[in-house]
Structure 1
């Protein structure tokens, strides 16, 4: 198979955004005198959209839908203004992207973060690397629903089987399988390797440039 494009998850795959997300949510919790959480706890809250993260962060005594909606809006307001304070690309990501572009590999981002914030962070940290950049606009389209990934393949002018989907969670691997794309997991994100392999990862990357080796192993003529 000659892969011609790569779709990347954002949080935990391209960027380490955990501290900015955690800081924003903890600010909301502190403002309401609720218990806060450490960064390790937020690793398991991230991945299914920020509204879901808000629900997991709130105390059980204040976890009704109306309260979640209100705190979600507060969290988004806080995070929108501070989403690139500490967030940065993982070591080796920019080098990988430059290498892929130089070999005419098409690049896209698909995240369960809101579409607005996905575009804001991606364009701020990776100008001119990705098109399209797709975040969550409708809750029902959230990964592992493959609909948006399939639409990305159409936008890129590629068949789904010509795309690698790279992510750090089981949800990402499920999305790849559901969209008939090649699932590749990363070990530096927010989920354990066991979760990735259990959900269908074909390869696990220990460094971003390992993706070059995957492409070569799968028959893509790409120079190191």
Structure 2
């Protein structure tokens, strides 16, 4: 059986070619051969933050930036170029760790000086940021250590995998296909005009209903307060990824049921 490309959820009626890979609209269901040969899942570990963890889980929804991919440098460089070309002060990467995660418009607003946050400047900066990011999104971005191996193991176990990102939908699909060509993602969903951004639950609940898997069967893995709030709002089991853009305290304060420090620590949570 040949490997299928991930289904990308959006309100489009035809297929598009991105980086020589087929992205299909609207969402399609793909069977995964490995689902027919599931390996025994390892038992869960008890943690002080893991109250009410019902077992087993059979699906995982991942955030993209800061969870699967370390995109901070390319995002920060693109935003700094946008600021610099307009005569505004730039920021270091520590600033961008707090500024990213809620979509490009919010990143622009947080990065501009308060006195420059007028609609015309915001819109012009957003266009410039997207144009700049298009030229540099693969310069420094890379998967976090352990993520490719984790995705391979999850594929062998037949776990259903999905991505939910506040990055624009076409770029979300392009990033997944470029950096994870071997991964078995069943559905990939980025930001679209018709669906509110995370932490609104609609994107997550749509993934659950599209794949026919109820919320209680999912783990949601993310690295920001927005991700944890998304999981809480959608009734998913929230797993904080401490290797991303925010710290453990923020993740726990915003609903993480458990925080893991390395990707492989996700495996015992499956049940």
Normalised-by-shorter TM-score class? over 0.9
Report whether the alignment pairs 1:15 with 2:69. Answer: yes
Per the TM alignment, residue 154 of structure 1 is displaced from its structure 2 partner at its CA by: 1.8
TM-score, length-scaled by structure 1? 0.93
Query: Which sits farther off after the overlay, 3-12 or 119-128?
Result: 119-128
What is the aligned partner in structure 2 of residue 188 from structure 1?
Answer: 243
The structure with the greater share of residues assigned to helix is: 1
Report whether the alignment pairs 1:146 with 2:205. Answer: no
> C-alpha deviations, 1:109-153, integer Å up to 9, x for none?
101111121111111001252221111112761001111101111
TM-score, length-scaled by structure 2? 0.77
Report whether the alignment pairs 1:179 with 2:242. Answer: no
What is the aligned partner in structure 1 of residue 164 from structure 2?
Answer: 110
Matches within 5 A, 1:113-132: 113-129=167-183, 130-132=185-187
Report whether the alignment pairs 1:166 with 2:221. Answer: yes
Per the TM alignment, residue 28 of structure 1 is displaced from its structure 2 partner at its CA by: 1.0
Report the CA distance shift for 1:139/1:189 in structure 2 as closer, same or farther (over 3 A).
Answer: farther
Note the residue ranges of structure 2 that are not aligned, 5 or more in a row.
1-54
Contact 1:203 1:214 in 2 (8 A): no
Distance in 1, matches of 2:151 and 2:206, equals 22
* SS of the residue 1:48 aligns to: coil
What is the aligned partner in structure 2 of residue 92 from structure 1?
Answer: 146
Distance in 2, matches of 1:180 and 1:124, equals 31
What is the aligned partner in structure 2 of residue 58 from structure 1?
Answer: 112
Note the residue ranges of structure 1 that are not aligned, 5 or more in a row.
none
> C-alpha deviations, 1:63-112, integer Å up to 9, x for none?
11221111001100110121111100000001111111100001111011
Distance in 1, matches of 2:95 and 2:191, equals 23
Report the CA distance shift for 1:95/1:128 in structure 2 as closer, same or farther (over 3 A).
Answer: closer
In the TM superposition, structure 1's runs of 4+ consecutive aligned residues that sit over 3 Å from their partners are none
What is the aligned partner in structure 2 of residue 26 from structure 1?
Answer: 80
What is the aligned partner in structure 1 of residue 191 from structure 2?
Answer: 136
* SS of the residue 1:165 aligns to: strand
CA RMSD between the two structures: 1.2
Distance in 2, matches of 1:188 and 1:29, equals 28
Point out the structure with max Rg over C-alpha.
Answer: 2
